[in-house]
Amino acid sequence: MEILFRTKAESNQQQRETFLKLSPVRRFEKFLEMMEAFELFPVKNSGKRKEESGKRKGKSNFIIQIKEQSDK
């Protein structure tokens, strides 16, 4: 096992270069593996339980509305 001492920027650059050397298919597979691993991390309640209990029923953090511009 090798221990390397790098700055955060150097470490990020090395990780980026290693990732970009992978084929596009393998990059996507790694992305899916990462998303699966994130499910194992504990997180704070996202509000779903609040909605289920009725405290925030019908509310959300924000709403995106796309409106067409009328020709003038």
In Å, how far are 19, 21, 28, 43 from 24, measured between CA atoms? 10, 9, 6, 30
Q: What is the pTM of this model?
A: 0.45
Domain boundaries, the chain: 1-41
In Å, how far are 1, 8, 38 from 13, measured between CA atoms? 21, 9, 22
CB atoms within 10 A of CB 4: 7
C-beta of residue 53 within 8 angstroms of C-beta of residue 47: no
What is the pLDDT tens value at each position of the chain, 72 positions in all? Answer: 889 899 999 999 999 999 999 999 999 999 899 888 888 887 776 665 554 545 555 566 777 777 877 655
Q: What is the pLDDT of residue 4?
A: 85
